[in-house]
Amino acid sequence: MKTLREARPATVGRASRERWSQDIEAAVQVLWDQALDNQGVHGQVSGIGLAAVGSLGRRDTGPQSDLDLVLIHDDGAHPELSGGITGLSNDLWYPIWDANLELDHSVRSIKDCRGVAKADLSASMALLDLRVIAGDGEIVQEAASTVLADWRAGARLRFDDIVAEQRGRRATFARLAYLIEGDLKEAAGGMRDALLIKAVVASWLAERPSINYEDSYEFLLDVRDALAISTGRHQNVLRLAYQDDVAQMLGFSGSGGADPADELLAAVSEAARTIRAAYSDVKRRASGRLAPTGRWRGPRFVRGRAVPPRLKEAA
């Protein structure tokens, strides 16, 4: 795992994120085998799987992205593991910490996944990206399918919470399209909104937006990665001090006498407007589907017999 820190990509783009995600997955799979060996298991174990969520689950990991890993188990005792589930998790997490890699980790049964997803909106949306990395893929797939089914079943009741969450972020971080030093992730029109669109579409409350927002999302990921390379740390706020370096890394040359940093901000603003418009489209479609259609009245009965309604006569 220590070699991963030195092997962080110095380039941006979808291909770079794919390659970096694959390198991380390969290293984690080796770590999984070593952890099982430490626990006295030679081969694979049934009922336990290691899954990725977040950027690694989506395979858009950047140079300074943290690792979001979930150890999913079937709630069994697993006597084949010398230290049990706790011992296995320690053998997984400590080498990652020793490599100075940021790690967001959890150990959950399928029941735990359902409970966390129902209680926390952010966790629920994060678990939609659940993807197997190592171990028993069937239990990870079962957890993913269960969380998705719960998300779809409860989406109608949680839609107001989804809208409120987005409105709260907009009040806190403002709109990315109008900011000089905007938060690429949390501001309205940022990467979080793009993931929110994906979550609403997955709930079946609305179909895909008519606006193509994926390219804008990929561009914001490019800006995030260039910012991480420039600063050498996990960073989502595009500060003025780094805009020239990020602009140069992304190929903004200042054509027509314009400042490269200004070109960068204009492109960020355009991407944010696109994502914001796509979110508004999905929100409108979902709201229309959830809007009440008026009180339904059944047939009128007279002396136990259904009779047609009495309609007003038009002149």
Query: In this predicted structure, what is the pLDDT of residue 233?
Result: 87
What are the beta bridge partners of residue 38?
none
Which of these, 275, 106, 249, lies nearest to 176 by C-alpha position? 275
**What are the pLDDT digits (tens) for 216-265?**
999 999 999 999 999 988 889 999 999 999 999 999 987 777 899 999 99
Query: In this predicted structure, what is the pLDDT of residue 84?
Result: 93
Whole-prediction pTM: 0.87
> Which alpha helices (H) appear in 69-131, and where do they start and end?
84-98, 110-119, 121-126
Query: In this predicted structure, what is the pLDDT of residue 3?
Result: 63
Cα(202)–Cα(130) distance, integer angstroms: 13
Q: Tell me, what amino acid is at 285?
A: R
Query: In this predicted structure, what is the pLDDT of residue 314?
Result: 65
Instruction: Give me the domains of the chain, ranges plus CATH numbers.
Output: 2-152 (3.30.460.10), 174-290 (no CATH)
Structure tokens at 61: 């990991």
227, 219 Cβ separation under 8 angstroms = no
Query: In this predicted structure, what is the pLDDT of residue 2?
Result: 59
Q: Within a 13 Å sphere around the CA of 208, how many CA atoms are in the beta-carbon half?
A: 5
Structure tokens at 221: 């990921």
146, 114 Cβ separation under 8 angstroms = yes
Q: Taking the alpha carbons of 296, 300, 306, 311 in that order, is the dihedral positive or negative? A: negative
Helix H, strand E, coil C: the string for 1-19 is CHHHHHCCCCCCCHHHHHH
172, 83 Cβ separation under 8 angstroms = no
What Å distances lie between residue 266 and 176, 199, 206, 243, 253, CA to CA? 11, 28, 30, 12, 13
Which of these, 79, 31, 80, lies nearest to 52 by C-alpha position? 31
Give the burial class of 247: count Cβ atoms within 10 A of its Cβ; 0-12 exposed, 13-18 middle, 19 or more buried.
buried
Query: In this predicted structure, what is the pLDDT of residue 63?
Result: 87
Cα(300)–Cα(310) distance, integer angstroms: 10
Cα(212)–Cα(41) distance, integer angstroms: 48
- Strand ranges, E, within the chain: 48-52, 67-73, 103-109, 131-135, 300-302, 305-307
Q: What is the pLDDT along the chain (315 residues), one digit of tens a residue?
A: 656 666 666 789 999 999 989 999 999 999 999 999 999 998 888 999 999 999 999 999 988 888 999 999 999 989 999 999 999 999 999 999 988 888 999 999 999 999 999 898 888 999 999 999 999 999 999 999 999 999 999 999 999 999 999 999 999 999 999 999 999 999 999 999 999 999 999 999 999 998 999 999 999 999 999 999 999 888 899 999 999 999 999 999 877 778 999 999 999 999 999 999 999 999 999 998 887 655 555 556 666 676 666 656 665
Structure tokens at 220: 């914001």
Cα(281)–Cα(207) distance, integer angstroms: 10
Cα(159)–Cα(155) distance, integer angstroms: 6
